[in-house]
Structure 1
Amino acid sequence: MKDFMLIFIGVDYAEMELSPEEIQGRAQSWMTWQEKMEKQGVLKGGNALQSDLKRINGPDRTITDRASTEIKEIIGGYYLVQAENIERAIGIAQDYPDYDLGGKVEVRELMYYN
């Protein structure tokens, strides 16, 4: 088995002005997907990410604040999953709940140095 990161790229629900009911529905879709992966034994972990961030810019390493309003697409979170190959990891990502909002999933295999 290999480890893959599913990186969620999309827009902030708050910026989309979704209603509380719509946000609750989205949260339920996320929970359903997570439970499915847990039952399949493929989910290793993951988290949502805050939309505001600090960026360290090289080579002088200046630090800038980046608010989500300045970014066209934000990384909203990630899951770590196990799969036999990248095709299976892509299959796991098919249930991502925000495709209909223009969201994207980047699937990347983790590299381990032994």
Structure 2
Amino acid sequence: MKDFALIFRQPSYDYSNASPAEMQALSKKWQDWVGGIVAQGKFGNHGARLALDGKVLKAGGVITDGPFVEIRERLGSFIIVKAESLEDATTLAHGCPALDAGGSVEIRPVVG
């Protein structure tokens, strides 16, 4: 298996207006989604240099060659997953809570 970075880009959004219940629900979505990757044994590590090529998954299942950054988006965070190919890593990105908020997941092979 190879390592791939799933980079979460989200529209600039002020979370200070979200209620505690909304923040708790959002946190649970992220924990459940990442927990599913962990349960598959496909959660990796952090801190590696990224390759220049990759794909971007957007809401609605639209997949484009990437990486590209929209002006009004911000990098939220990233995780490293283990997958056989770029296509398999893209499949793991489906269900990411960033997609529910109009964000995207950039999938990049890790060099090294």
TM-score by length of 1: 0.69
What does residue 73 of structure 2 align with? 73
What does residue 68 of structure 1 align with? none
After TM superposition, give the deviation of residue 21 of structure 1 in Å: 1.1
What does residue 32 of structure 1 align with? 32
What does residue 6 of structure 2 align with? 6
1:96 aligns with 2:71: no
TM-score by length of 2: 0.71
Give the structure with higher Rg (CA).
1
Counterpart code for 1:24: Q
What value does the CA root-mean-square deviation take over the aligned residues? 2.1
Partners of 1:4 and 1:81 within 8 A in 2: yes
After TM superposition, give the deviation of residue 16 of structure 1 in Å: 7.3
Deviations 1:2-45 (A, max 9, x none): 11000000035534732221111010000001111111000013
What does residue 106 of structure 1 align with? 106
Secondary structure, in 3 states, of the residue corresponding to 1:36? helix
1:28/1:13 Cα in 2 relative to 1: closer, same or farther (>3 Å)?
farther
Of 21-30 and 37-46, the range deviating more from structure 2: 37-46
Secondary structure, in 3 states, of the residue corresponding to 2:105? strand
Q: How many residues align?
A: 89
Percent identity for Structure 1 against Structure 2: 36
Partners of 1:28 and 1:9 lie apart in 2 by 19
